[in-house]
Amino acid sequence: MKEKATLQPVRRRFIQRAVQTLAGVTLFGLKPAVLAQATAPGSNLARSPITDPDAALRELTLGNLRFQQGQMTHPDNTLERRTLVAAKQQPYAIIFACSDSREAPELIFDEGLGDLFVIRTAGHVLDGAALGSLEFGVAELGIPLLVVLGHERCGAVTATMDVVERRALAPGNIETLVAAIRPAVLYGRGEGAARVDQVVRANTALTIQRLQRSAILAEAVERGKLKIVGGHYDLDTGAVSFGVTLPE
Ligand SMILES: [Zn+2]
CATH number at residue 139: 3.40.1050.10
User: Does 98 or 32 have the greater pLDDT score?
Assistant: 98
The answer to whether residue 21 is domain-embedded is yes
The span from the CA of 150 to the CA of 77, in Å, is 26
The answer to whether residue 167 is domain-embedded is yes
Measured in angstroms, how far is the CA atom of residue 217 from the centroid of ligand 1?
Answer: 24
Measured in angstroms, how far is the CA atom of residue 195 from the centroid of ligand 1?
Answer: 15
Residue 6: per-residue pLDDT: 39
> With bands split at pLDDT 50, 70 and 90, how would you rate the model's confidence at 244?
very high
Average pLDDT over residues 46-56: 88
Number of domains, the chain: 1
Domain extent at residue 138: 2-242
Residue 48: per-residue pLDDT: 79
The answer to whether residue 248 is domain-embedded is no
The span from the CA of 54 to the CA of 42, in Å, is 25
The answer to whether residue 247 is domain-embedded is no
Is the pLDDT confidence value at 8 over 60? no
Burial of 146 (0-12, 13-18, 19+ CB in 10 A): buried
Binding annotation for Zn(2+): 98, 100, 151, 154
> Residue 63 contacts by C-beta under 8 Å, 6 or more apart in sequence?
109, 110, 111
pLDDT in tens, 84-132: 999 999 999 999 999 999 999 999 999 999 999 999 999 999 999 999 9
pLDDT in tens, 187-224: 999 999 999 999 999 999 999 999 999 999 999 999 99
> Residue 42 contacts by C-beta under 8 Å, 6 or more apart in sequence?
73, 74
The answer to whether residue 117 is domain-embedded is yes
The answer to whether residue 203 is domain-embedded is yes
The answer to whether residue 26 is domain-embedded is yes
User: Does 188 or 44 have the greater pLDDT score?
Assistant: 188
Measured in angstroms, how far is the CA atom of residue 211 from the centroid of ligand 1?
Answer: 19
Q: Taking each helix axis from N to C terminus, what angle separates 128-139 and 215-222, rounded to the nearest 10 degrees?
A: 30
Measured in angstroms, how far is the CA atom of residue 67 from the centroid of ligand 1?
Answer: 19
Residue 56: per-residue pLDDT: 98
The answer to whether residue 159 is domain-embedded is yes
> With bands split at pLDDT 50, 70 and 90, how would you rate the model's confidence at 30?
low
Q: Taking each helix axis from N to C terminus, what angle separates 174-185 and 192-211, rounded to the nearest 10 degrees?
A: 100
